[in-house]
C-alpha cells in the first residue's frame, strides 16, 4: 500500500542493525523458543543487517533520520561502539538505544563508556514478563519493584539519557514507582504498550493502562512492531493505533518500523500507507509530529 501523496518524510524511531561475526549475539548462536513462538520465521533475520539494508527497505520513504536499537549483543559496549563507527562513517543512524540494566553493579562503568559515544541517546532493558514462559523476554519478573533496580535507575536519570520502557501492558501497574519517582527523565514506552490479550476485554484493560502511562507528561509512546503485535493489515492495526494516538496525542507518539523483524511480515510501504490512512484525520502538524517530530525530540535528533 503506497501513500497517494507520494513518499512520506519519516524518522524511523526504532530499527536494529546486526553484525553477526563482528558483534556476536547469543540468541543467534542458541535459538530461543521464546523468539520462535513470537514469530515462526523469526530466525530469518539472523544475518547481517547494516545501514545499506535499512536504506533499501526504506527506499519508498523520505528518510530524515533513524534511531537504531540494541539487539541482545554479547557485549553491549562493543555493539554501541560499532554503531558509533557506522554513524561516524556517515551511514547513520542518528541515535542509538544501548543496553543497560539498572541493577548491574557495573552500570556506572558502562554509562562512562556510553558518554564517549555521542550516538548513544537512550538505554533500555527488556522487562517483558508473563505467566506464559513463552512470553518471557525479560530476565526476571520483579525489576520494576526491586529497590536495588530503582536505585540504580538514578544513575540513568543523572546521565540525561532517555529510557525506553519495555513492558507488557499488564505490567504498567508495576511501573508506578518508576513513573512517580522520575518525572523529569524522558521515557519512551515501546511497542504501543504491548497488549498480549487482543480480545475486547483485553483492549479495555490496555486502554486503562495506556491512560495511566499517558497521565505522566514525560512519557511518549513508540508504535513499533505493529504487524508483529496485531497483524499486517489496516483492519488489524487501526483500532489500536487510533486509540493509542487519541490517548497520548500525536505530539507524544512516534512512527517506527521495527526492521528487520516486521519486514518479515510486511513492507515499509505497506506500514506507512496503512498509518497514513488510519491517521488521515490528523492535522498536517499532527502528522508531522507523529512521523518525525516526536522521535526528534525524544532522542535529540537534529531538526529536519
Q: For residue range 234-286, what is the model confidence (pLDDT) as tens digits?
A: 999 999 999 999 999 999 999 999 999 999 999 999 999 999 999 999 999 99
In this prediction, residues 290-300 reach a mean pLDDT of 97
What nine digits make up the cell of 204?
479495555
Over range 175-183, report the average pLDDT: 97
Own/partner long-range contacts of 149-155 (Cβ < 8 Å, ≥24 apart): 149/102, 149/103, 150/102, 150/177, 150/178, 150/181, 151/102, 152/101, 152/102, 152/103, 152/104, 152/107, 153/102, 153/178, 153/181, 153/182, 155/102, 155/107, 155/108, 155/111
CA angle 1, 15, 222 (to 5 degrees): 80
- CA atoms of 65 and 239, how far apart (whole Å): 28
Contact 66, 133 (CB under 8 A): no
* Residues listed for the chain: 304
Residue 67 near residue 299, CB atoms below 8 Å: yes
Stretch 11-21: mean pLDDT? 98
Instruction: Give the start-end residues of each E strand in 72-205.
Output: 95-99, 120-126, 162-166, 187-189
Q: What is the pLDDT of residue 2?
A: 45
Q: pLDDT tens for residues 211-226?
A: 999 999 999 999 999 9
Say how far apart CA 67 and CA 120 lie, in whole Å: 10
Strands 253-255 and 187-189: unpaired
Rounded to an integer, the average pLDDT of 22-47 is 97
User: CATH classification of 9-299 is 3.20.20.140, yes or no?
Assistant: yes
pLDDT band at 6 (very low <50, low <70, confident <90, very high): low
- pLDDT at residue 303 in the model: 80
**Average pLDDT value for the chain:** 96
Where along the chain do its domains lie?
Answer: 9-299
Residues above pLDDT 70, as percent of the chain: 97
Asked whether residue 48 carries a pLDDT value surpassing 70, the answer given is yes
Q: What is the pLDDT of residue 91?
A: 87
Amino acid at each position: 500500500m503506497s501513500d497517494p501523496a507520494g513518499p512520506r518524510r519519516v524518522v524511523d524511531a526504532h530499527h536494529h542493525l546486526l553484525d553477526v561475526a563482528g558483534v556476536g549475539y547469543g540468541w543467534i548462536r542458541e535459538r530461543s523458543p521464546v523468539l520462535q513462538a513470537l514469530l515462526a520465521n523469526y530466525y530469518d533475520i539472523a544475518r547481517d543487517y547494516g545501514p545499506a539494508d535499512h536504506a533499501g527497505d526504506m527506499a519508498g520513504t523520505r528518510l530524515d533520520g533513524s534511531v537504531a536499537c540494541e539487539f541482545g549483543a554479547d557485549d553491549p559496549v562493543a555493539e554501541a561502539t560499532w554503531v558509533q563507527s557506522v554513524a561516524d562513517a556517515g551511514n547513520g543512524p542518528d541515535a542509538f538505544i544501548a543496553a543497560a540494566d539498572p541493577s548491574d553493579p557495573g552500570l556506572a562503568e558502562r554509562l562512562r563508556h556510553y558518554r564517549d559515544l555521542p550516538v548513544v541517546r537512550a538505554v533500555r532493558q527488556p522487562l517483558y514478563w508473563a505467566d506464559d514462559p513463552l512470553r518471557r523476554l525479560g530476565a526476571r519478573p520483579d525489576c520494576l519493584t526491586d529497590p536495588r533496580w530503582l536505585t540504580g535507575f538514578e544513575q540513568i536519570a543523572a546521565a540525561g539519557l532517555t529510557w525506553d520502557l519495555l513492558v507488557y501492558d499488564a505490567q504498567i501497574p508495576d511501573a508506578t514507582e518508576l513513573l512517580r519517582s522520575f518525572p523529569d527523565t524522558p521515557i519512551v514506552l515501546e511497542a504501543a504498550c504491548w497488549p498480549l490479550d487482543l480480545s475486547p476485554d483485553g483492549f479495555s484493560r490496555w486502554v486503562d493502562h495506556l491512560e495511566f502511562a499517558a497521565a505522566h507528561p514525560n512519557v511518549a509512546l513508540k508504535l513499533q512492531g505493529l504487524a508483529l503485535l496485531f497483524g499486517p493489515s489496516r483492519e488489524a492495526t487501526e483500532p489500536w493505533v487510533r486509540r493509542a494516538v487519541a490517548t497520548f496525542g500525536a505530539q507524544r507518539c512516534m512512527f517506527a518500523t521495527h526492521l528487520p523483524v516486521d519486514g518479515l511480515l510486511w513492507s515499509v510501504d505497506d506500514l506507512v500507507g496503512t498509518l497514513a490512512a488510519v491517521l488521515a484525520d490528523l492535522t498536517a502538524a499532527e502528522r508531522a509530529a507523529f512521523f518525525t517530530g516526536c522521535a526528534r525530540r525524544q532522542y535529540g535528533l537534529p531538526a529536519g
